[in-house]
Amino acid sequence: MSTVTPMMAQYLDIKAQYPDALLFYRMGDFYEMFFDDAVNAAEALDIALTKRGKHDGNDIPMCGVPVHAAEGYLLTLIRKGFRVAVGEQLESPAEAKKRGSKSVVKRDVVRLVTPGTITEDSLLEARRHNFLTAYCEMRDQSALAWADISTGAFHVMPVASVRVSPELARLAPSELIVPDGPALDQLRTIAEDHQIPVTPLAKSSFDSTAAEKRICDLFKVSTLESYGSFNRAEISAMGAVIDYLDITQKGKLPLLQPPQQEAEDRVVQIDAATRRSLELTRSLTGGRGGSLLAVVDRTVTPAGGRLLEQRLSSPSRNLDVIRSRLTALDFVVEQTQLAQSLRAALRKTPDLDRALSRLALDRGGPRDLAAVRNTLIQSEAISDLCDRADMPPLLQQALSGLTGFDDLLPLLDAALIAEPPLLARDGGFIAEGYDSELDEARTLRDEGRSVIAALQKKYSDHTGINSLKIKHNNVLGYFIETTATHAEKMLSAPLSETYIHRQTTANQVRFTTVELSEIEARILNAGNLALEIEKRLYTRLSDAILANAALLNAAARGLAELDLVTALADLALGENWSCPTVDTSREFSISGGRHPVVEQALRQQGGSSFVANDCDLTADTGAAIWLLTGPNMAGKSTFLRQNALIAILAQMGSYVPADSAHIGLISQLFSRVGASDDLARGRSTFMVEMVETAAILNQADDRALVILDEIGRGTATYDGLSIAWATLEHLHEVNRARALFATHYHELTQLAGKLPGVDNATVSVKEWEGEVIFLHEVKKGAADRSYGVQVAQLAGLPGSVVARARDVLDMLEEGRRSGAGKIPIDDLPLFAAAPPPQPAAPVGPSPVEMLLDDIHPDDLSPREALEALYRLKEAAS
């Protein structure tokens, strides 16, 4: 049986503490992995799998990644669902040897990297929050808490269990913490629907009494009352977030802002299916491109981009909040010169939130110090640009956070060079003249370099060897090097009395002198001293910044608000958007509305301009429903979606793509547009459609906006018609909602005469010589048919299939008109193969064409022209 080496024993001991994570075991310049970790990592990272020694008679699999490139490998592993425990060396090999020649370097895990706890810029999306979320359910209470340790954001809200899925869709967290227990499987299923990794924690992490103490200790308060009145579930969820951060960060807690309590009725409720359908922040392909967010995002800072996504995902239901945002936007739209100056200054503003977070977690560097300094410089410039007295309250509040750094900014400005290095250990980031002791050490270090150069010339002249060099490495320090051809001369008297041999390699011989050793000691001491002084000053500057963390967080929020409002103003002016009217009425009137994503796509393709349309779902009481008919490809789905997007933009506090819009506050937004299946859960397309429709009918209130497309199309005609009919009646009679209901069941248009809140509308088309032309114009009235065969022809179906389809359609419609009921199968062989297309016979010129060839208009008199016209008419008939 093989003996376990001390190093492998240490590895196995550390790994036993983190069985569910890959262990990055630091060995010099590499993170090594062994056993199953190595096998899994090698496959995930596509790197070589090797072996090192044996364990229980078997080869030990091994792979490794360089420390300097570890972030890229971490990103790949995290995206593939792994957690990584980072085991660092806690002492140098020299320190370990002091305990004995065979002592192993002390190592331990300094950090557990999970999807919700990453802080590195290279692992994060700059314009997206990276939320870690915890859910807790206690008796009749439940709550969600979420934090972004890369920005310090910390929120909590009570949430009914049925609202967990929609809220997770809104937040799109990177990781969900849940208590280990019976409810775990159900929560895991919900999380998997949103592709969110789930991490179970012991129930002790959710204990409300211990959680309250954790929160108070973190924020150094004796009670939570100053932050709000929290129920036990909210406290437990917040406490679980903090406990998990304590576990993963090994006691080094991030700089979280005081918790902000949110209410369920604060924002418009939008479920996951609706978010996917409307492509608010992600397109159906999963990327940012093609989404509403991508089209409206003109922010110039990462913080502004994150705020925009947050607002777009969570449109407000608070009228005062909406109006304050629109008032600020109105002001900036009118002050175009000021807006341009603000945007120019904001472009130079670094990401203050994330720089602060890295400094608090001791993962920062000199560039983070410079980021704070540069932000404060731009904050001062922005503040000087604005006359606050003339500004709306929202802008005044944003600007108020940009001042109050009269001590910090001069300190950072005097201490730091313009562009510092990435790492503190590299040195060279403190400005000359800031610290006299540092300047002295640098002078000695730098003069030492010139002394070495002079010494090299002296030795070269003394030995007569022009190629002699003085070099340095970490093993030998400074040494004299000559080629092997001069070895005999250097090793012989009298030179051997001055030059002390140190090392011989294949091509070089290396020496030292007493004089060189003395100068080396002086230079190294000076260099090390300079580096130690810079590290000490780095800590002092970092502490000064963190002491102003609350003020800096306020500045970051103010800058993000200014960025967002100026970006929305730039969007409104550039795209000719208008300011909506938002109030508490049941108005929903849009004039000249457009779909912003489709409109931009048409412009980029150089195609036709977007056809704007009106929509009026106003109702003082009861339902207001437009029943929309018309062919596929005519623009029904686009019309449905654009009105929902306009409502979202209005309630987030933005101008909208319309000539005018009057939106009475909507409380919920539901969309059932498009077809998809869920095979993993055994759901057909029709089943998914019915589940989503059921959710709408069971939840929509009288202030909801509902858009439904082709309900009932996934089953037999009469089944589908009956479901669509009953759904429309339920929306009208029970939900009493504002809705757009698109359908191909023309029988439903009869309901407009029976239900007072239902109006018929159709998308106009024009037929020309058997072909259909889409006008994309929505008008009142009902379509007479669906033009399905014409659309099939446009799609390129073989001519024989299109012709056969026309024959079948004519027979079916004739049977329906005559009331004949079933059509005999002999008359309508639906399952007979269509005849193969016959090659077209060659056709000669028609009589009309032959007559036209003989006509020369310039040679005809008026009478002859009239006679020619009669001949053409006779030939055509």
Q: Is the dihedral of CA 295, 301, 304, 310 positive or negative?
A: positive
- Name which of 628, 625, 665 is nearest 648 in CA terms: 665
- CA dihedral of residues 165, 170, 172, 176 (deg, nearest 10): -40
pLDDT, tens digit, 9 for 90 and up, residues 202-239 = 999 999 999 999 999 999 999 998 898 999 999 999 99
- Name which of 257, 231, 241 is nearest 159 in CA terms: 231
The Cα 118–Cα 112 span in angstroms is 9
Q: What is the mean pLDDT of residues 290-316?
A: 96
The Cα 74–Cα 755 span in angstroms is 60
Which residues make up each annotated binding site?
A: 630-637
pLDDT, tens digit, 9 for 90 and up, residues 726-738 = 999 999 999 999 9
Per-residue pLDDT band at 389 (split at 50, 70, 90): confident
The Cα 267–Cα 311 span in angstroms is 9
Q: What is the mean pLDDT of residues 587-602?
A: 94
- CA dihedral of residues 475, 476, 482, 486 (deg, nearest 10): -110
**pLDDT score at 593:** 96
pLDDT, tens digit, 9 for 90 and up, residues 340-356 = 999 999 999 999 999 99
Cα of first residue to Cα of last residue in the chain, in angstroms, is: 105
| Contact status, residue 695 vs residue 271, Cβ threshold 8 Å | yes
Token pair of 415 as six digits:
């201490």
**Where on the phi/psi map is residue 758: left (φ > 0), alpha (ψ -120 to 50), or beta?**
beta
The Cα 1–Cα 790 span in angstroms is 79
- Name which of 144, 164, 166, 148 is nearest 233 in CA terms: 144
Per-residue pLDDT band at 828 (split at 50, 70, 90): very low
Q: What is the mean pLDDT of residues 385-403?
A: 90
pLDDT, tens digit, 9 for 90 and up, residues 652-694 = 999 999 999 999 999 999 998 865 544 445 566 778 888 888 8
Q: pTM, whole model, 2 decimals?
A: 0.83
Q: What is the mean pLDDT of residues 584-603?
A: 94
Residue 787 reports pLDDT greater than 80:
no
Q: Provide the pairing of β-strand 588-593 with 668-672.
A: unpaired
The Cα 11–Cα 106 span in angstroms is 11
**pLDDT score at 395:** 95
Residue 843 reports pLDDT greater than 50:
yes
The Cα 468–Cα 458 span in angstroms is 10
- Classify burial at 707, counting beta carbons within 10 Å of its beta carbon; exposed 0-12, middle 13-18, buried 19 or more: buried
**pLDDT score at 173:** 95
pLDDT, tens digit, 9 for 90 and up, residues 540-564 = 999 999 999 999 999 999 999 999 9
**pLDDT score at 830:** 45
**pLDDT score at 93:** 83
* Residue located via tokens 């709550």: 143
| Contact status, residue 342 vs residue 378, Cβ threshold 8 Å | no
**pLDDT score at 676:** 58
Give every CB contact of residue 326 below 8 A, 6+ residues apart in sequence.
579, 580, 582, 653
Residue 605 reports pLDDT greater than 70:
yes
Whole-angstrom Cα Rg for the chain: 37
The Cα 549–Cα 372 span in angstroms is 11
Q: What is the mean pLDDT of residues 132-139?
A: 92
Percent of the chain with pLDDT over 90: 58
Q: Give the DSSP H/E element, type plus range, for residue 144.
A: strand 141-148
Q: Picking from 48-57, 475-484, 502-511, 548-557, which range would have the lowest pLDDT averaged per residue?
A: 48-57
Per-residue pLDDT band at 770 (split at 50, 70, 90): low
Query: Is-cis flag, bond preceding 494, omega within 30?
Result: yes
Which residues make up each annotated binding site for ATP?
A: 630-637
pLDDT, tens digit, 9 for 90 and up, residues 731-762 = 999 999 999 999 888 888 889 889 999 999 99
The Cα 568–Cα 304 span in angstroms is 11
Q: Please provide the average confidence, as pLDDT, over all residues in the chain.
A: 88
| Contact status, residue 718 vs residue 751, Cβ threshold 8 Å | no
Token pair of 306 as six digits:
């994150």
Give every CB contact of residue 723 below 8 A, 6+ residues apart in sequence.
690, 711, 712, 715
* Dihedral pair phi/psi, residue 316, rounded to 5°: -80, 150
Give every CB contact of residue 178 below 8 A, 6+ residues apart in sequence.
134, 135, 184, 187, 188, 198, 199, 200, 201
**pLDDT score at 794:** 66
| Domains in the chain, CATH or no CATH each | 6-113 (3.40.1170.10), 128-266 (3.30.420.110), 297-405+548-575 (1.10.1420.10), 436-539 (1.10.1420.10), 581-786 (3.40.50.300), 797-837 (no CATH), 847-876 (no CATH)
